[in-house]
Amino acid sequence: MAIGQIQAAVTGARPEAGDDALPAHVAIIMDGNGRWAAQRGLPRVAGHRAGVQAVRRTIEAAVAQHVGWLTLYAFSSENWRRPETEVRDLTGLLRHFIRSELDELHREGVRIRIIGDRGRFDTDIQADLVAAERRTTANTRLNLTVALSYGARGEIAAAARAAAEAVRDGKLDPASITEESFAGYLSTFGIPDPDLILRTSGERRLSNFLLWQSAYAELVFTDVLWPDFGASEFAEALAEYARRERRFGARPG
């Protein structure tokens, strides 16, 4: 990549038209809240609260860097297996974040979209999620997708069931199913596949996150714990992305 392109990724300067140095869609596996709290002798909920601050910083960084799509893995389908007190703390923080941050996100032109099994949350949280999506639906500055009670295997299985039901009902010819048409049954329909998937805390796995959509994503792993993540770490990930050569299975040019 040209030096100017990498500098743009680091400084947040708007890229030139047609410049592919910056990812259009960044997806983040936010990890390390518990370890952050343990290192400080604090309860896990303190780490989750600090993680909320990192969410704010990251949204601001994405807007500043002119990233159009940001997806945050906030609560996995497996997280329901955690102790009841921690689940209660997490859902309470989710409730507080939506109610306290929605006005600001709307003013900043952020569109909110939720993927995952929201039906497992309390009814008041479900109502808040619907309200957030409806209120921000016309915003275009940043498309923020939040994965809640989400698991990629479950998403793919649900898409397969929906396609099978369409075949059963005579609405779909099995011979017509392609990768593109099948993607239309996924919860991410209408969202571009991520160009960059970033995971914090030093772990190097996808943990059931966007498995279908990440087929050609660039993967970046950082040892930084999520509560310590901010604009500079986001910029470093973009700079790493700018150094990659994306070939999508083709030979180097």
Which residues have a catalytic role annotated? 31, 79
Q: How many CA atoms lie within 13 A of 237 on its CB side?
A: 29
Q: How far apart are CA 227 and CA 56, in angstroms?
A: 11
Print burial letters for 135-173: b (CB count within 10 Å at least 16), e (below 16).
ebeebeebbbbbbbbbbbeebbeebeeebeeeeeeeebe
How far out from the chain centre does Cα 190 lie? Answer: 14
> Residue type at 152?
A
Length of the chain equals 253
Q: How far apart are CA 75 and CA 130, in angstroms?
A: 17
Helices (H), the chain: 3-11, 33-39, 44-64, 84-107, 123-135, 152-168, 179-183, 231-243
| Residue 198 β-bridge partners | 28, 220
Tell which residue, 158, 113, 165, has the closest CA to residue 139: 113
Q: Are 87 and 79 in contact (CB under 8 A)?
A: yes
